[in-house]
Amino acid sequence: MSAAGAPGAVGVPGGPAPVDDGVYRIHWVPGTDRLLAVCFCGEKREFEDPVELWDWLLAHPEHGA
Amino acid sequence: MTTTPFVRDQWYVAAYGYEVGRELFSRTVCGEPVLLWRTEAGEVTGMSDRCVHRRFPLSQKPSHLVGDQVVCGYHGFTYGADGACVNVPGQRRIPRTARLTSYPVVEQDSFVWVWIGDRELADEKLIPRAPWLDQPGYTTVSGMEPLAARHGLLVDNLLDLSHETYLHGGYIGTPEVAETPITTEVDEQAGIVRVSRHMEDAVCPPFYAESTGITGRITRWQDIEYHAPCLYLLHSRIAPVGTPPPDADGGDPDAFHVEVVYAITPETENSTHDFWAVARDFALGDEKVSGFLHDNNRTVVLQDVVALDVLEKAVAAERDGYQELSINIDTGGLAARRILKRLAEEAAR
Ligand code: FES
Ligand SMILES: [Fe+2]
Ligand SMILES: [Zn+2]
């Protein structure tokens, strides 16, 4: 698998742009308690709670827009 | 708490190939008792473990095999390898409906996979692979422990390895496991969840110290790949700190690799077959290392079994909609639960 979470991972600042491969990626923001959710559509947002994160990832209004 | 319905239209591991031979063998998968045996040609065959006559379990003595036919030990109904009844006592006419349900079976990667749902949908190409278990260059130890808990609890358990620090301290747990952030990737469509934890500088737990001979600190990578609903892979990479990372073409000669494989097969709504296997690419054929890894891994699996058996009792007594609290470490487990729920909903339609 890809070395997810490593610097240069998909969707992480400095890493390649998200690809439309149907894969949701969630990175633990280094040095924090926050999670960065990256949708394959390109949308991303930070969360402190994985339940809220999944609610958003699966139903964000911008998806596919 | 109510459990989710079985997802029947999926491949499940029913047994290891080495468990099935010329003795009648039975294992219940998703509530269906499955009779497994090998034909004289060596093919594994799977059919209902209940005689159509009075439901006597065909795996029970004095039921027995004669060549490639099963003779029921109660009144002698006799069945071929395809499940069709070929002989009934006292009369010539064999009722048209005298046929055991037979199940598609595939032997692959040391497992016997069975499909108990709609056989039209049983595509062999859907079976996820665990090639290391049966591949030159690896030595494997394995086992199966009965779990008195719903399979979802084992999925939760395996997708969040931070519990190693607490439940398996002194075996595979060290402080770094719970302390190191994870990355999660979810392919909803394929039903695959990946959770990675890369510890760059960690204590080497006894499980790896004794098997690899490493004495100092290690780089320890845990890359989980869960193929819902049944197969769980943990790619574990262990190397002394300072070892170069794998090269671009995947070569990684200075690291030790352990492929930990679980097959999570629902037996009943509240019990699970917990198949576990550990394949390594070092100390090949070394009996001492094999014995150590077998005993240690089994101990670890049994620590989970004890905990999950208790947890099953606790959640079974809860009302529906009881509260839980999820934190960052649960990101992958939540995704796995959702995929299992979707599969169950699709199955219920
Ligand atoms: S129950 Fe099997 S022959 Fe009667
Ligand atoms: Fe465990
Ligand atoms: Zn999106």
Give domain limits for chain A.
Answer: 25-58
Q: Do residues B112 and B155 both lie within one domain? A: no
> Could you say which DSSP state residue A18 is in?
P
Residues lining ligand 1, CB < 6 A? Answer: B 51, 53-54, 56, 72, 74-77
B186 and A30: CB-CB below 8 Å?
Answer: no
Least confident window among A5-14, B22-31, B55-64, B127-136: A5-14
| Residue B80 CA from chain centroid, whole number | 29
A4 and B189: CB-CB below 8 Å?
Answer: no
A64: left (phi over 0), alpha (psi -120 to 50) or beta: left
pLDDT tens digits for range A10-64: 666 666 666 778 999 999 998 999 999 999 999 999 999 999 999 999 999 888 7
pLDDT surpassing 70 at residue A8: no
Q: Do residues B79 and B170 both lie within one domain? A: no
Q: Which of B106, B126, B146 is the last residue of a domain?
A: B126
pLDDT tens digits for range B49-104: 999 999 999 999 999 999 999 999 999 999 999 999 999 999 999 999 999 999 99
Is B1 a domain residue?
no
Q: Check if A17 contacts B (Cβ < 8 Å).
A: no
Q: Spell out the SS3 assignment of B62-123.
A: CCEEECCEEECCCCCCEECCCCEEEECCCCCCCCCCCECCEECEEEECCEEEEECCCHHHCC
Q: Do residues B148 and B101 both lie within one domain? A: no
Domain residues for B20?
10-126
Q: Do residues B95 and B204 both lie within one domain? A: no
Which residues sit opposite B198 in a β-bridge?
Answer: B221
Q: Do residues B145 and B80 both lie within one domain? A: no
Q: What are the residues whose beta carbons fall under 8 Å from the beta carbon of B97, sequence distance 6 or more? A: B52
Is B195 a domain residue?
yes
Q: Order across the sheet with B111-115: list the strands.
A: B11-16, B111-115, B105-108
Count of CA atoms in the C-beta half-sphere (13 A) of B232: 27
The amino acid occupying position B35 is L
Position A21 scores a pLDDT of 87
pLDDT tens digits for range B212-221: 999 999 999 9
Is B165 a domain residue?
yes
Q: Which of B107, B126, B145 is the last residue of a domain?
A: B126
Tell me whether 0.90 is exceeded by the ipTM: no
Among A57, A59, A21, A16, CA closest to A36? A57
Count of CA atoms in the C-beta half-sphere (13 A) of B176: 16
Q: Do residues B118 and B263 both lie within one domain? A: no
Is B290 a domain residue?
yes
Q: Which of B126, B142, B161 is the last residue of a domain?
A: B126
Residues with CB under 5 A from ligand 3 (ion): A 39, 41, 43, 63
Q: Do residues B55 and B199 both lie within one domain? A: no
Among B101, B94, B96, B59, CA closest to B77? B94
Spatial distance between the Cα atoms of A15 and A6, rounded to a whole number of angstroms: 9
Position B322 scores a pLDDT of 85
pTM of the prediction? 0.94
Position A3 scores a pLDDT of 42
Percentage of residues in chain B with pLDDT exceeding 70?
A: 99
